[in-house]
Amino acid sequence: MTELKYISGFGNECASEDPRCPGALPEGQNNPQVCPYNLYAEQLSGSAFTCPRSTNKRSWLYRILPSVSHKPFEFIDQGHITHNWDEVDPDPNQLRWRPFEIPKASQKKVDFVNGLHTLCGAGDIRSNNGLAIHIFLCNTSMGNRCFYNSDGDLLIVPQKGKLLIYTEFGKMLVQPNEICVIQRGMRFSIDVFEETRGYILEVYGVHFELPDLGPIGANGLANPRDFLIPVAWYEDRQVPGGYTVINKYQGKLFAAKQDVSPFNVVAWHGNYTPYKYNLENFMVINSVAFDHADPSIFTVLTAKSVRPGVAIADFVIFPPRWGVADKTFRPPYYHLMQKKKKKKKKKKKKKKKKKKKKKKKKKKKKKKKKKKKKKKKKKRKKKKK
């Protein structure tokens, strides 16, 4: 596979056109009477039209056929996806899941959509406020199927196996130790090369942002220029059996058929795009004197709530770093009690082992003494005779 090209920058106003169609982007206006190459102009909105300019999100797409050229959507089985948090009783205990087993392709073919499993969530999907956490497992590519989410943005974290993601804006290759964000309303299809597993953080009603840096200054944590946006790429492909478009809407799945590939955007411009980020580029900030900084210092992306300083969700990483704090217990404070308990148990076990060894040694010594006494008695008896 040839190396993919990207545009760098977070939230930038970008423009791109497929080199096979030079001049596909209209100049000086968004919606000309006749677009170059007779393309159709569409605007994809990521915010209300009247949002302040700093938070206004939209992109203009110039495509071979309109995105609405499909048959009616019909309800389909939603598998392991849910949005009803009342189905399970709440549990205040700390829980961890063992790694989900990836089905073998020889037994059952599972693509990205079929392999979605909801773990937990909060808030209300209908009022556009809250989040959900999913795991995905897949062993086969999506083929002539694509997916888009009408409920919120998806932050995808591959844990095993790399993902080749086709979007309306272009292609992205996302590997473990990288993340990508597919924003609300963007169609995508995923090709896999092996058995693949990963996590998804879904947020409703807001978009992911870079955290404020405060006294850190102008540079640090995830730098905007390290975020990569795909360049325009299209396919003008008829699909005889029909191309399936799957939509997640208010927590339910719906599917519609169309005759062509949806990835027919020849050119685009705007600031509402998918993007990816390599976590190795994260500039770690930490204590260099004593104690531990709070874990919020490792925030890569945040989804802010209405309350200042309070997030709906933060995506935080704990990357490799030097720990140089003086007179400070090395693991962060949250783990302190657990670590101590484990150490005490180990010490008790060691003490028990030592006691057992001492008892065994004493028994051996007693046996040796008894044997010596018996030998001495026998010698005395012989002498008397």
**Binding site listing for Fe cation:** 335
Positions at the binding site: 335
Kindly report the number of other CB atoms within 10 A of residue 76's CB atom: 14
Give the DSSP letter string of 173-215. EE-TTEEEEE-TT--EEEEESS-EEEEEEEEESS--BPPP-GG
Unique residue bearing structure tokens 């399936």: 244
CA–CA dist 151, 190 (Å, integer): 19
CA–CA dist 384, 309 (Å, integer): 100
For residue 70, indicate whether it is catalytic: no
Q: CB within 8 A of 206, min separation 6: which ones?
A: 153, 303, 304, 305, 312
Active-site annotation holder among 83, 117, 269, 292: 292
SS (H, E, C) 336-367: HHHHHHHHHHHHHHHHHHHHHHHHHHHHHHHH
CA–CA dist 231, 240 (Å, integer): 28
CA–CA dist 100, 240 (Å, integer): 36
CA–CA dist 371, 385 (Å, integer): 22
CA–CA dist 24, 43 (Å, integer): 16
Q: CB within 8 A of 370, min separation 6: which ones?
A: none
Paired sense of beta strands 145-149 and 238-249, if any? parallel
SS (H, E, C) 25-93: CCCCCCCCCCCHHHCEEEEEECCCCCCCHHHCCEEEEEECCCCCCCCCCEECCCCECCCCHHHCCCCCC
Active site residues: 292
